[in-house]
């Protein structure tokens, strides 16, 4: 059984169900990628894992414990960290303050974690007194990921982390994500750049209209003729 | 309970309350309250169009009532010809200078492309214009205000029957609303509220200080009435006969004594005059209610509500939100302007100092919200209840105080203080009612009908 | 008299009638506007009851001052009100928190539209207004005691030999000093403490703050306490400087809103700046510059008019004009606040 698993999730934002019987899972030290066409409910499925929408069915388990009824805040305290797609940094605060806010729930010494994040994203260290709103898109994403890592999470969820950044920055960011995975964190991400994302994925989920269409290892999905044709543009 | 049943019950209770005041205090008091309830109803219907139909937070209701009141003065007061002759030309010159300045600056803005040249010529025109306006204006107002300052000292009005001002007040308020809308519409609700609050305060400052216009804080009194005067009535034969017939004879069959008769005449004259006003006001309320209800149920009303409920969706569907908002803001303000003129007509005087936002803006808000935002009948009942409480809170708290006699003797400082401050109970009560309604019955007494009911 | 004396006279004149009053009035507005801007930043609505909170806090101070005076407690040359201030702040903060818990928190839980909060704040405004009038009445109250002037106009003239006098009231200095202390303390709190940073984070990005585990109710609580404290301070300083009258405090709402918006809503530093901008514009636009021009113009020239842009009755118009100008030219305010 996986470390984090959302089984047969059904729900939406109060209106019609956007995801139906959707199952996602990820293990520690693994990267799981959710891909699919626009409007397939990828982000919605991820938000369901975090408890940000009303579920009409299904359950979420973290480390074997049922967390379906917990609020997002409680799940964060349980070790789940989330990087939203938009507005994922405190634009009026400095890089360092952003990281501090990420560690808001922690009462212990956070300097070590902060150093780890500066090691992971060295540019942030040089810009740590700068206001996050003034950074470039790629740097902001680094701040956003860094902020999420400050809680020392066991699961890191990323909603389209490479949206709007250049290919070079994207590669760089994926490298960092692999590095994070190696530290034993479970990573779940939703991606538009499906091909590149599946390249680094241990497991991939292809969603269509809120339902699982394919679930397999990243390589297998890339090799799958139908997936390639339909979702990866040949 | 259906809305019509709720309406019937609440209006019956209201009528009962007024009748109780009639028996308990006096019919003059009851009718005075009733008349102001009617005026308040017009105000709240106007605000309901803006807030209930369209969701505009207008915190400048007072500006519309005040300009309506001003219009009543300008329409009905006889012209002060001496003031016109000494100051009219200078004032006209000031007006012409103002217009020329505006035209010149608009031309510069449109014709010259954005550059330092435009900035400089704009500044020059504005400064020059300001100089001319100021010069003529000061010359004119100084002369006008010197004309018999104890009695007039202003330009006076047109000397027309005051009833015309009800319509004219609406038009004037609409004009002002157009201007306010140019500045403030399109802002988010909080900004719009603050902006309108600010404009209404400025409006009152102008009325308080521009003596040449309406005598400022010296007030204009003795406006001609559209209904008979009490003193005249008491001399009129048919009225005396009417009172005689109404009161009939004393219990023992003999004719009434002169003293009793005089008192009855005085009382009846007051009641009669107020009833005349009531008839006029009821007519206005019914006409506006008719229009308002038709508008609300028309496609126009549906579109307004659609915009209110989801601005993003409505604008995505190609509706020009700002211009719709401007429309409804102007119409609502016009209705409030009418009520302002009615109020000044009823008072027979115009006192800029009496316009304060709590009474003329926020109290109207309480009326609309208590009655039920979006529901015209609701606005009327809300106005009735709110005004009734507003007026009767003081006697009620004094009455409560007098029952405190048991605990406090007549001269205790606490009791004297409490008697002094009893009028302010109504503020607390209003706030409490507003907060309670907002919390426990946010749709008000008569909720807006759900659109799928028709 | 030579020209340099004239220039000095002009300087003294402008300092006495424009600069000093603007600084003290500006400090009062700034303290009020910071409260409005904080509440807006955190709770996302324009609090129409803020003027009444100022009024309530001042009233509490006056009552405690009277009580102290009746017991013979005083601060010598300083106003007794300063001694009463901490207690009044406590009472006002408690009241405001109680109002939040009983009224505003409901709409927060229900995620009501901002305008519902505004309407609720109108209800609170009514209640507080009535409460203040009931408790203390509507008369004008002067509760200043201690030394009135630090520098008297006559003494200044004698000392310098200039024909223009400079008067400096103790309350003006007190206002400025206390406002600076309060603002520095607030900025320190927002920049350096955990709770202060959490407030900034919450104001910046509510969703992300929640995801970071920031407790919204705590942030809101602290916001109200700060807003109430600053409102009380602002109200007391204004009352000491001029006088206390409930109706006047209601009318302060407009310049305070103007200051908050001009500075950039949600930006405490902007609100402070806005306070001074509004105060300076109000006072200089209604000041008659005739004498000033006479002094600074070389030679014998006396301007014909009073050179007063607006009469003092139009003070409100000035704050409003600034407001409109900012809305049209730079809707985010001087310091790029949120766009409402």
pLDDT at B254: 64
Chain C residues with CB-CB distance to B138 below 8 A? 305
pLDDT attached to residue B150: 82
Q: Is A43 on the interface with C (CB under 8 A)?
A: no
Interface test with C, best of B367, B427, B429 (most C CBs within 10 A): B427
Report the chain C residue with the minimal C-alpha distance to residue B183. Answer: C324
pLDDT score at B406: 61
Q: B399: which residues sit within 8 A by CB, 6+ positions away?
A: none
Q: Determine the pLDDT at residue B407.
A: 64
Q: Are residues B143 and B273 in the same domain?
A: no
CATH at B261: 1.10.3470
Question: Would you call B103 an interface residue with chain C, using a CB distance cutoff of 8 Å?
Answer: no
pLDDT tens digits for A114-149?
A: 999 999 999 999 999 999 999 988 899 999 999 999
Q: Inform me whether the C-beta atom of residue B389 falls under 8 Å from chain C C-beta atoms.
A: no
CB C295 within 8 A of CB C6: yes
Report the residue from A73, A93, A104 with minimal CB separation from C204: A93
The answer to whether C212 faces chain A, any CB pair under 8 Å, is yes
Cα–Cα dist B333/B43, whole Å: 9
Residues B205, B207, B210, B213, Cα dihedral to 10°: 170
Q: Cβ of B427 and C133 within 8 Å?
A: yes
Q: Which of C194, C204, C213 sits opposite A92 (nearest CB)?
A: C204
CB contact under 8 A, A101 and C210: no
Prediction ipTM score: 0.90
Give mean pLDDT, residues A192-218.
89
**Whether B185 contacts B329, CB under 8 Å:** yes
User: Does the CB of C161 have a partner CB in chain A at under 8 Å?
Assistant: no
Whether residue B399 sits in one domain with residue B263: yes
Angle at which helices C216-241 and C194-204 cross, to 10°: 100
Residues of C in contact with A92 (CB under 8 A): 200, 203-204
Q: Are C204 and A92 in contact (CB under 8 A)?
A: yes
Residues 6 or more apart whose Cβ sits within 8 Å of residue C287: C17, C18, C308
C339 touches chain A (CB under 8 A): no
B212 and B286 fall within a common domain: yes
pLDDT in tens, A20-59: 999 999 999 999 999 988 888 888 999 899 988 888 889 9
What is the distance of C-alpha B4 from the center of its chain? 28
Q: Are residues B108 and B135 in the same domain?
A: yes
The burial of A64, by beta-carbon neighbours within 10 Å (0-12 exposed, 13-18 middle, 19 or more buried), is given as exposed
Question: Shortest Cα distance from C340 to chain A (angstroms)?
Answer: 17
With an 8 Å Cβ cutoff, are B428 and C122 in contact?
no
Query: Residue A104 and residue C194: Cβ atoms within 8 Å?
Result: yes
| Assigned domain for B403 exists | yes
CB contact under 8 A, B193 and C118: yes
Residue carrying the six token digits 């605060």: A93
Residue C126 Cα, gap to closest chain B Cα (Å): 5
| For range C6-25, the mean pLDDT | 90
In a domain, B217, yes or no: yes
Cross-chain CB nearest to B189 (options C114, C125, C257) = C114
Cβ neighbours of C134 in B, within 8 Å? 421, 424-425, 428
User: In this complex, is the C-beta atom of C201 within 8 Å of any C-beta atom belonging to chain A?
Assistant: yes
What is the model's pTM?
0.89
Is the model more confident about C74 or about B343?
B343
Chain A residues touching residue C194 (CB < 8 angstroms):
104
Six-digit token string for C194: 């955990």
Q: Chain C contact for A13, CB < 8 A?
A: no
Whether residue B234 is contained in a domain is answered as yes
Same domain, B372 and B387: yes
B395 to chain C, closest Cα gap in Å: 15
Cβ-Cβ contacts under 8 Å for B28 (sequence gap 6 or more):
B267, B270, B271, B274
Count of domains observed in chain B: 2
Q: Domain for residue B138, yes or no?
A: yes
Among chain C residues, CA nearest to B359: C126
Residues B172 and B143 in one domain: no
CB atoms within 10 A of CB B158: 14
C204, A73: Cβ pair inside 8 Å?
no
Same domain, B293 and B232: yes
Of B135, B155, B175, at which residue does a domain stop?
A: B155
At A154 the pLDDT is 94
> Is residue B448 in a domain?
no
In this structure, are residues C254 and B184 in contact, taking their beta carbons and an 8 Å threshold?
Answer: no
Q: A191-195, C87-91, C94-98 — which is least confidently predicted?
A: A191-195
CA B163/CA B280 separation, integer angstroms:
10
Beta strands in B369-444 (DSSP E): none
Same domain for B165 and B122: no
* A105 chain-C contacts, CB cut-off 8 A: 212-213
Last residue of a domain, one of B155, B184, B218: B155
Nearest residue of C to residue B180, measured between CA atoms: C324
Q: How confident is the model at residue C340 (pLDDT cuts 50, 70, 90)?
A: very low
* Interchain pair C201, A101: CB under 8 A: yes
CA dist B297 and B290 (Å) reads: 11
Q: What does the pLDDT read at residue B250?
A: 60
Enclosing domain of residue B145: 80-155
pLDDT(C1) > 60: no
Q: Which of C198, C200, C205 sits opposite A104 (nearest CB)?
A: C198
Q: How confident is the model at residue C43 (pLDDT cuts 50, 70, 90)?
A: very high
The packing angle between helices A111-120 and A137-149, to 10°, is: 140
Q: What pLDDT score was predicted for residue B419?
A: 78
Q: How far lies C85's CA from each of B292, C178, C189, in Å?
A: 52, 12, 20
User: Which pLDDT belongs to residue B304?
Assistant: 87
Q: Is the pLDDT of residue C106 over 50?
A: yes
pLDDT of residue C339: 47
B350 and B425 part of one domain: yes
Average pLDDT over residues C292-311: 75
CB hemisphere CA count around C266 (13 angstroms)? 20
A87 to C207: CB separation less than 8 angstroms, yes or no: yes
Q: Are residues B71 and B187 in the same domain?
A: yes
Judging contact as 3 or more Cβ pairs under 8 Å, the answer for A and C is yes
| CATH assignment, C3-329 | 1.10.3470
- The residue of chain C nearest to residue B139, with distances taken between CA atoms, is C305
Q: Considering B155, B176, B209, which residue would you say is the last residue of a domain?
A: B155
Structure tokens at C278: 């509004």
Q: Are residues B208 and B264 in the same domain?
A: yes
The reply to whether B264 falls in a domain is yes
Specify the pLDDT at position B344: 95
Helix (H) or strand (E) holding A58: strand A54-62
Q: Tell me A211's DSSP state.
A: E
| Partner-chain residue, chosen from C115, C118, C126, that has the shortest CB–CB distance to B430 | C126
List b or e across C296-331, with b for residues whose CB sees 16 or more CB atoms inside 10 angstroms. beeeeeeeeeeeebbeeebbbbbbbbbbbebbeeeb
- B19 and B138 belong to one structural domain: no
- Per CB-CB distance under 8 Å, the chain C contacts of A104 are 194, 198, 201, 212-214
* Whole-angstrom distance, CA of residue C81 vs CA of residue C73: 11
Per-range mean pLDDT, top range of B415-424, C162-171, C270-279:
C270-279
Which band of pLDDT confidence, cut at 50, 70 and 90, is reported for residue C94?
very high
Helix (H) or strand (E) holding A26: strand A19-26
User: Closest approach of chain C CAs to the CA of A90, in angstroms?
Assistant: 6
As a whole number of angstroms, the distance between CA A101 and CA A73 comes to: 14
Residues of chain B with pLDDT under 50: 451-454
What six digits make up the tokens of B240? 């005396």
The answer to whether residue A74 neighbours chain C at the CB level (below 8 Å) is no
Per DSSP bridges, beta strands A211-216 and A203-208 are antiparallel
The reply to whether B304 falls in a domain is yes
Q: How does residue A180 score in pLDDT terms, banded at 50, 70 and 90?
A: very high
Contact: chain B with chain A (3+ CB pairs below 8 Å): no
């Amino acid at each position: 059984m996986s470390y984090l698993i959302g089984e047969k999730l059904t729900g939406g934002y109060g209106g019609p169900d956007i995801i139906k019987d959707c199952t996602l899972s990820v293990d520690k030290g693994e990267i799981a990628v959710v891909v699919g066409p626009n409007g397939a409910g990828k982000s919605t499925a991820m938000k369901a894992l975090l408890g940000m929408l009303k579920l009409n069915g299904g359950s979420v388990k973290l480390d074997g414990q049922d967390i379906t009824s917990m609020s997002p805040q409680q799940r964060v305290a349980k070790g789940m960290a989330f990087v939203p797609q938009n507005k994922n940094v405190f634009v009026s605060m400095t890089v360092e303050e952003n990281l501090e806010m990420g560690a808001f729930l922690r009462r212990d010494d956070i300097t070590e974690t902060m150093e780890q994040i500066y090691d992971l994203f060295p540019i942030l260290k040089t810009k740590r007194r700068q206001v996050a709103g003034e950074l470039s898109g790629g740097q902001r994403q680094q701040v956003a990921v860094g902020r999420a890592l400050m809680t020392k999470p066991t699961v890191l969820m990323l909603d389209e982390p490479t949206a709007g950044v250049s290919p070079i920055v994207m590669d760089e960011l994926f490298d960092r994500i692999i590095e994070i995975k190696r530290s034993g964190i479970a990573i779940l991400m939703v991606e538009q750049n499906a091909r590149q994302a599946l390249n680094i994925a241990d497991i991939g989920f292809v969603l269509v209209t809120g339902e699982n269409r394919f679930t397999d290892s990243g390589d297998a999905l890339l090799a799958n003729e139908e997936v390639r044709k339909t979702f990866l543009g040949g | 309970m259906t809305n019509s049943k709720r309406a019937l019950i609440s209006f019956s209770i209201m009528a009962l309350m007024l009748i109780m005041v009639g028996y308990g205090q006096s019919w003059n008091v009851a009718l005075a309250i009733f008349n102001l309830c009617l005026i308040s109803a017009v105000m709240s219907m106007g605000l309901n169009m803006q807030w209930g139909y369209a969701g505009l937070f207008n915190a400048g209701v007072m500006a519309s009532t005040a300009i309506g009141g001003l219009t009543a003065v300008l329409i009905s007061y006889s012209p002060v010809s001496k003031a016109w002759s000494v100051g009219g030309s200078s004032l006209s010159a000031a007006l012409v200078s103002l217009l020329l300045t505006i035209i010149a600056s608009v031309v510069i803005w449109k014709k010259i492309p954005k550059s330092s040249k435009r900035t400089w010529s704009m500044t020059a025109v504005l400064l020059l214009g300001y100089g001319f306006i100021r010069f003529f204006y000061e010359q004119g107002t100084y002369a006008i205000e010197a004309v018999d300052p104890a009695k007039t000292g202003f330009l006076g009005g047109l000397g027309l029957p005051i009833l015309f001002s009800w319509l004219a007040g609406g038009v004037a308020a609409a004009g002002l609303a157009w201007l306010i809308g140019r500045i403030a519409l399109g802002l988010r609700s909080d900004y719009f509220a603050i902006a309108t609050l600010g404009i209404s305060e400025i409006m009152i400052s102008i009325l308080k200080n521009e003596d040449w216009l309406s005598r400022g804080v010296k007030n204009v009194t003795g406006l001609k009435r559209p209904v008979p005067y009490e003193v005249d009535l008491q001399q009129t034969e048919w009225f005396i006969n009417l009172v005689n017939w109404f009161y009939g004879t004393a219990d023992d069959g003999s004719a009434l004594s002169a003293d009793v008769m005089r008192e009855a005449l005085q009382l009846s004259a007051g009641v009669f005059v107020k009833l005349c006003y009531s008839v006029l006001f009821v007519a206005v309320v019914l006409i506006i209610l008719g229009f308002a209800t038709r508008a609300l149920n028309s496609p126009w009303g549906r579109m307004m509500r659609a915009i209110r409920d989801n601005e993003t969706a409505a604008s995505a569907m190609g509706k020009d939100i700002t211009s719709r908002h401007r429309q409804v803001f102007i119409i609502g303000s016009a209705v409030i302007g009418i009520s302002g003129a009615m109020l000044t007509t009823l008072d027979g005087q115009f006192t800029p100092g009496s316009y304060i936002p709590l009474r003329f803006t926020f109290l109207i808000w309480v009326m609309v919200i208590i009655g039920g935002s979006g529901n015209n009948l609701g606005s009327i009942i809300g106005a009735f209840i709110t005004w009734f409480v507003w007026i009767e809170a003081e006697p009620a708290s004094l009455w409560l105080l007098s029952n405190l006699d048991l605990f406090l003797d007549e001269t205790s400082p606490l009791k004297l203080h409490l008697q002094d401050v009893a009028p302010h109970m109504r503020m607390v009560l209003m706030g409490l009612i507003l907060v309670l309604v907002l919390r426990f019955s946010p749709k008000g007494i008569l909720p807006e009908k759900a659109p799928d009911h028709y | 008299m030579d020209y340099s004396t004239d220039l000095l006279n002009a300087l003294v004149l402008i300092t006495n009638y424009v600069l000093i009053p603007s600084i003290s009035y500006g400090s009062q507005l700034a303290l009020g506007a910071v409260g409005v801007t904080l509440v807006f930043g955190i709770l996302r609505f324009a609090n129409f009851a803020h003027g009444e909170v100022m009024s309530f806090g001042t009233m509490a101070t006056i009552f405690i001052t009277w009580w102290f005076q009746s017991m013979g407690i005083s601060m010598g040359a300083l106003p007794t009100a300063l001694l009463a201030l901490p207690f009044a702040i406590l009472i006002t903060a408690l009241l405001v928190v109680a109002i939040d818990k009983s009224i505003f928190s409901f709409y927060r839980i229900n995620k009501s539209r901002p305008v519902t909060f505004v309407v609720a704040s109108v209800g609170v405004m009514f209640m507080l207004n009535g409460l203040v009038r009931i408790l203390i009445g509507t008369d004008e109250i002067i509760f200043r005691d201690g030394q009135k002037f630090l520098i008297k106009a006559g003494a200044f003239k004698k000392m310098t030999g200039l024909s223009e006098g400079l008067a400096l009231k103790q309350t003006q200095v007190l206002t400025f000093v206390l406002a600076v202390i309060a603002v520095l303390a607030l900025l320190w709190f927002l920049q350096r403490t955990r709770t202060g940073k959490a407030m900034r984070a919450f104001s910046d990005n509510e969703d992300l703050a929640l995801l970071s585990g920031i407790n919204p109710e705590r942030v809101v609580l602290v916001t109200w306490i700060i807003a109430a404290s600053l409102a009380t301070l602002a109200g007391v300083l204004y009352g000491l400087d001029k006088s206390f009258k409930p109706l006047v405090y209601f009318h302060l709402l407009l310049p305070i809103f103007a200051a908050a918006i001009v500075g950039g809503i949600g930006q405490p530093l902007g609100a402070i700046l806005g306070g001074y901008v509004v105060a300076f514009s109000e006072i200089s636009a209604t000041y008659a510059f005739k004498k000033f021009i006479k002094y600074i113009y070389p030679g014998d020239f006396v301007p014909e008019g009073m050179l007063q842009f607006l009469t003092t009755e139009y003070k409100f118009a000035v704050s409003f004009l600034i407001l409109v100008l900012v809305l049209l030219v730079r809707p985010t305010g001087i310091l790029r606040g949120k766009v409402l």
